[in-house]
Amino acid sequence: MSKLRLEKAPAPAWVRPVIPLLAILVTFLITLIFIAWVQANPLHTYYYFLVAPFTSTVTMIELLVKATPLFLTGAAVAFAFRAGYYNIGAEGQLMAGAIIGSWVGVMLEGFSSWIALPIMIVGGFLGGVAWALIPALLRVRLKVDEVVTTLLMNSIIVFLVSYLLNGPWRDPVSMWPQSPDIAKSAMFFTLIPQSRLHFGFIIGIVVILTIWFVISRTAFGLKMRAAGSSAEGARFAGVNVERTILVTALVSGGIAGLAGVGEVAGIHFHLIQGLSSNLGYTGIIVATLGALNPFGVGIAALFIGLIDTGSLTVSRAMGVPVYLGQVVQATLLLVTLSMFVLTNYRLKREG
């Protein structure tokens, strides 16, 4: 009798880029179950999901709006993961950027945009850096697992925001717990009139290009990739692994912070509790689906933006719950991850 056995054997390089596409296919096969469950027509559902958003300018722009913060959180996560730093805290770092953005944004009243916007951007970046600092230091100094600490930092900031919005920052004229609106000059301008597509989209593109350049063209990028795949080998070759990881972790936090500023200055104009709606966690999906490659991240962010937009269309057109979009995203993450793991193995028949 012959037995099948899983054996460790890395797949050839060309397999990796194909995986996200395969994963998307498998995901839609799996989600058939949920679609059947709510008794919708699968073909129609997929049409509204994937095609309908492209049929109108409004939804196409909306897709880009949805993708804007994901460029940044996806880039933040991918950048850290490349150095072997598993930053699960983009969610919290984004909120930290948003806190700083909504704080300086109010104080910038009376300054011109030329001054206000750079301050907003730098402030948001530094907010993210600050929120990433403690887990990063714990990791490089005491070897504390960053997956746990960055995740915990996400919970802490929820309470911080809640305190600010119900206490010192609460806008007295508003019914809801929210901070006062930021100065007009600190708001991100829109790229297309009458739409919500704002300057943050350009920041996202610039950041993606920048991290691509850093990762593949600079000495720092080579060091961080070395540290990320074999700390031992990197250390032997003279890379200061701890410093490399520290810098990467902080920059990653800063990038996530930029996403927060974008949401404040481009969409909401003030701080609210639900500002992020899981953009940081979705960044993990984006980074994974993008195979940690900056351009892959860009494409993945657009794809998730499509699904987000599509799920609204689907629910409007077919009465399917909006949550279907989230089910698709979560399934996609699991499928992509399992497929990446499986590329390291192959089935062997023995007996």
Report the C-alpha gap between 35 and 324 in whole angstroms.
8
Residue closer to another protein (CB basis): 169 or 340: 340
- Chosen residue from 184, 217, 316, 346 binding another protein by CB under 8 A: 217
Report the C-alpha gap between 256 and 188 in whole angstroms.
17
Residue closer to another protein (CB basis): 162 or 240: 240
141 is an interface residue for another protein by CB under 8 A:
no
Q: Name residue 243's amino acid.
A: R
234 is an interface residue for another protein by CB under 8 A:
yes
237 is an interface residue for another protein by CB under 8 A:
yes
Mark the segment that binds another protein (CB under 8 A) among 69-77, 88-96, 236-244, 320-328.
236-244
- Chosen residue from 233, 295, 316, 323 binding another protein by CB under 8 A: 233
Of 38-57, binders to another protein (CB under 8 A) are none
What one-character-per-residue DSSP string does 170-189 give?
--TT-SSSBPPPPPGGGSPP
CA neighbor of 72 nearest in space, from 233, 222, 252: 252
Report the C-alpha gap between 76 and 257 in whole angstroms.
9
78 is an interface residue for another protein by CB under 8 A:
no
- How many residues sit close enough to another protein to count as binding (CB under 8 A)? 21
Residue closer to another protein (CB basis): 108 or 241: 241
Mark the segment that binds another protein (CB under 8 A) among 182-190, 193-201, 231-239, 304-312.
231-239
135 touches 80 (CB < 8 A): no
Report the C-alpha gap between 100 and 123 in whole angstroms.
6
351 is an interface residue for another protein by CB under 8 A:
no
Burial of 107 (0-12, 13-18, 19+ CB in 10 A): middle
218 is an interface residue for another protein by CB under 8 A:
yes
Report the C-alpha gap between 261 and 279 in whole angstroms.
13
**Residue 151 in tokens:** 């995740």
Of 1-20, binders to another protein (CB under 8 A) are 10, 13
3 state DSSP class of 89? coil
Q: Please give the residue ranges that form the binding site for another protein (CB under 8 A).
A: 10, 13, 217-219, 221-223, 225-226, 229-230, 232-240
